[in-house]
Amino acid sequence: MRFRHAVVTGGAGFLGSHLCTALLDRGTAVTCVDDLSTADPENVAHLRDRPGFTAIHADVCEAFDPGGGPDGVDLLLHLASPASPADYARLPLHTLDTGSLGTRNALAVARRQGARFVLASTSEVYGDPQQHPQPETYWGNVNPVGPRSVYDEAKRFAEALTMAEAGTRGTNTGIVRLFNTYGPRMRGHDGRAVPTFIRQALAGEPLTVTGDGRQTRSLTYVDDTVAGILAMAGSELRGPVNLGNPVEISMLDLAHTILRLTGSRSPIRLVERPADDPGVRCPDITLARGKLQWEPRVPAEEGLARTIAWYRERQQRLRMGANAA
C-alpha cells in the first residue's frame, strides 16, 4: 500500500528518523512530530530540504494538529516515547503521560483523518518472561511498581487503548511489538547495550556488562524494523505482531563481538545487574512471517559493523568540527 501523507510521532528519534527517511523514499509526504525531550534534531537534519518533509515541535501529551493539506493524512505511526532506561528513569511521569495521553491524542488525529494508525509497542510488555520464545499470546511477567514499570506499563496501557479505540470507534489500528532495535543514530549514552558497548570500545574504556552477561537479547537492525513497521502499516492486521530477530545473543557474546569488530583492546568489566532486568528475550515471529511475509535479513555482525562505522564517521566529523573552531 502506498500512502500519501504520513505523520510520525517521535519522528526525530533514532527509529523515527529512519522511518521518516524510508517513507520519503517511497514518495510519501511526512510530518515529523517530536518534543525533542529525548531526540536529537540532527537525526532529521538531512531531511529538512527534502520536498514533502515537515517537522513540528510538539508534545503529543497535548492535543496537536499535524496539518496534512487538502488530501489529509492517511497514515499515523505512533513512536513517541522515551525508550531507553536512562530516559524513562529520568522522565517517569512524562513516559506514562506519553503512553496514555499521547496515545489518546495520536489516535484522535488518526480517527479524524480516517488514517491507518500503527502503535510502536515493545517487547518490554513481556517483562522478564517465563515463556520462551515469546509469542503474541503470552501475557507477560511485568513488575507493575518496579524501576522499569513506567515504560512497560505505559506501553501495555497504550496497547489496551489502541485495541479499545478500534473496537469501540472502528479506527483502523495496528500494534507492533519491537525487540531491541539498533543501528546508526543511537546516542552513545543511550544506556542500551549496543551503543554503550560501541562507545566504550571506541574510547578504549572497559565494556560494562551487567550481571554475569548470560542474559540474552534479540537484536534487530534498524532497516529490518523499519521494513516490518511499514509492512504492518500496509496490512489490515490489528495485531499485536512481534517484530524482532529470533536469533538470541548473550550480553557477554555481544561485548566480545563488538571488541572484535572494533579492534578494541578494552577489557570487559562485570557490574551490578539492574533490578527486573529480563533474563531472556526472543520473539516468536511466526505471525509476522505468515501474515506480513517479514523476517529480519541483516545478520548481527553486518548490522553491528554498519553501526560501528557510523559511530566512527560521527567521531571524525566532531573532531574536524572542533579543529575548525
Q: Minimal CA–CA distance to 1: which of 21, 27, 20? A: 27
**Alpha carbon 119 to chain centroid distance?**
11
Cβ pair 202, 146 in contact under 8 A = no
What is d(CA 182, CA 14) in angstroms, rounded to the nearest whole number? 9
Q: Is residue 151 annotated as part of the catalytic site, yes or no?
A: yes
* Candidate list 88, 126, 138, 151, residue with the active-site label: 151
Tell me the C-alpha to C-alpha distance, in Å, between residue 221 and each of 80, 239, 242, 306: 19, 21, 15, 10
Distinct helix (H) and strand (E) counts, the chain: 10, 13
Provide the 10 A C-beta neighbour count for residue 24: 17
3-state per-residue secondary structure call for 127-163: ECCCCCCECCCCCCECCCCCCCHHHHHHHHHHHHHHH
Would you call the peptide bond into 144 cis, given omega within 30 degrees of 0 as the criterion? no
Tell me the C-alpha to C-alpha distance, in Å, between residue 132 and each of 51, 140, 217, 219: 45, 11, 12, 16
Catalytic residue positions, numbered: 151
